[in-house]
Amino acid sequence: MINLPKDFEERMQDMLGSAYPAFVHSYEKPKIQALRVNTLKGSVDEFMEKAPFFDKTKIRRVPWENRGFYYNEDMPFGKHPFHEAGVYYIQEPSAMTPVSYLDAKPGERILDLCAAPGGKTTQIASYMKNEGLLLCNEIHPARAKILSENIERMGIQNALVTNETPKRLSEVFGEYFDRILVDAPCSGEGMFRKNEEACSEWSLENVQLCADRQDEILDCADLMLRPGGRLVYSTCTFAPEENEGSVARFLDRHPEYEIVKIAKYEGMSGGRAEWAGDLKAENIEDTIRLFPHLIDGEGHYLAVLQKAGEVPNGYRGFLQNGVQKGIPAKEEKEFLAFQKDYLKRNLLEEKEERLLRFGEQLYLMPQGMPSIHKLKVLRAGLHLGTLKKNRFEPSHALALALTKDEVQYHMELCPNGKKSDMSVINSYLNGQTLTYEGEKGWYLMTYNGYSIGWGKLAGQIMKNHYPKGLRK
C-alpha cells in the first residue's frame, strides 16, 4: 500500500465523500500496462498478425484510443525488437485521452508545448501521417533529448523539436497553430500508483506553484493559437486548483474561449463547478476527470477549449523570422547519388527547397517549416544522414522512416519467417557483423518486415550500422 501524504488524503476525502474508500482501494491494485500501435509503421491488423507474443485472449482495446491496448506484465513489450523499431509506444492508457480529443489532422500546424518524453507527441504524429508541421517543445534540455530520440524511433518525419520556454515560443509564433496541446507540468497526484517518488515530492505549496505556472503557460499558448483553433489542456493530477481552477482562471482572462462539449466514455467523470474556486466557468462539467477507481488507468484531467473566430483560406499567422530557407538539392550531390543508388522513393519530389544543413548533418525539413533563427533546435524534420568526404552516410532516423518497399535492398532479420528464432536479430542489435549474399551497398535491415536500421554489404560481410549507443 502506498503511503499517501496526509494533506492529500484529507483533501481527496473531502472531494470524493462516499467514493473515497473505493479511490483509496485502487492504490492496492497493480498499475495498468498499455501500449499504442504506431500506425506510421503499419496498420493495427498487421501488428496483431506479426506480434508472436501478443496473446489475443489476454488483451483488450483502450476505449478512447482505437490503436491502444491493455496488456499483461508477462508480455515482453519493452524488451522486444518491435520496440526498437518503433512499432509501438508503451503509454499509460489515461495519458492517451488528451490527444484523442485534440482531433489532429494531416496537413495542419500543431504544437505540443510541454512534450517530453514524447508519448502524446508521437500519438499526434500518427494522426498527422507525416503531413503538416508538428512542433514539439520541452523546456528541460535532458528531457528534450529523450523527446527527440522518441521522435526518431517512431519514424516521424514532420517534427520540429525545440528546447525553449513557452514565453520565447510565443514571441516567435503569433496565432500560428491550428491546434495546441498543453499537457501541463503538474503536481503529479494521478501518478502516485505508478511513481511513488511523486508522493514524497508532493506538497500543498507545490500544488499552488504548479497552478501559477499553468496560468503562465496557458497565456502563452493563447498567443500562438489561431482564431477558431482548438486548445486541449491536460494534467495528471486531481488538484482542483490545477484542473477546474486553471481552466476557470484562463476563461476569466480570455473570454473569447469556450469549453467544447465532448463525448465521455464509460467511467469518465465531468468537471465540478464547486472545484473551480470563486470563478464561475460555464460548462465546466464538460471537462473530463479520470479517477483510478472508475477506469482502468491512472488519474488525469482534460479540457477542450475553442477559440472564437475563423481564418481565411491560406492563412499563415505571424512568424518572427518567416519561413526557413532551404538549400538547393543540386548542391548535395553525395545525397542525390545515395538516393539514386539505394532508394526507390524520391525524398525531394516537391519543388520547394527543403534540405537543411547543420555542419555535416543533412535534414529534410517539414513543408513550410518556420525559421529556426535564434531558436534552440534539437531536430529540424527528418535527419537524412552525414555528409563526409565524397560520400553520404544515411542516418538511423532515415532507416526508421523508410519501409522495405522504398529501398533497393533490404535484409530480413527474421530467418525463414521463424518468429521464435531471435538469434539473428539479437546479433544485429548487439552490433555484430552478419553474413549475406547480394549486391554490395546499403541495406535496410528489417525484422518481421519492420525497418530497424542499416547495414552495408561488401563481399558477403554485412557491416553493422546499428548505432553504438543503442546496442544491447
Task: Enumerate the active-site residues.
Answer: 236
CB atoms closer than 10 angstroms to residue 406 = 16
Cell of 436: 549475406
- Rounded to 5 degrees, what are φ and ψ at 75? -90, 120
Report the candidate in 317, 74, 44, 291 with the shortest Cα–Cα distance to residue 189.
Answer: 291
| 231 bridge partner residues | 180, 305
The C-alpha cell 477546474 sits at 244
Chain-centre distance for alpha carbon 420: 30
Q: Which residues of 207-237 are buried (b: 16+ CB within 10 A; e: fewer)?
A: beebbebbbebbbbbbbbbbeebbbbbbbbb
Q: Please, are residues 413 and 438 in contact by the beta-carbon 8 Å criterion?
A: no
| Beta pairing, strands 269-270 & 288-290 | antiparallel
Q: Please, are residues 202 and 8 in contact by the beta-carbon 8 Å criterion?
A: yes
Q: What string of DSSP letters covers 21-67? A: HHHHHGGGSPPP-EEEE-TTT--HHHHHHH-TT--TTS-EEETTEEE
DSSP 8-state code for residue 256: T
For 149, residues 6+ apart whose C-beta sits below 8 A from its C-beta are none
Report the candidate in 319, 442, 296 with the shortest Cα–Cα distance to residue 369.
Answer: 319
How many CA atoms within 13 Å lie on the side-chain side of 430? 9
Q: Please, are residues 243 and 288 in contact by the beta-carbon 8 Å criterion?
A: no
Q: Please, are residues 247 and 253 in contact by the beta-carbon 8 Å criterion?
A: no
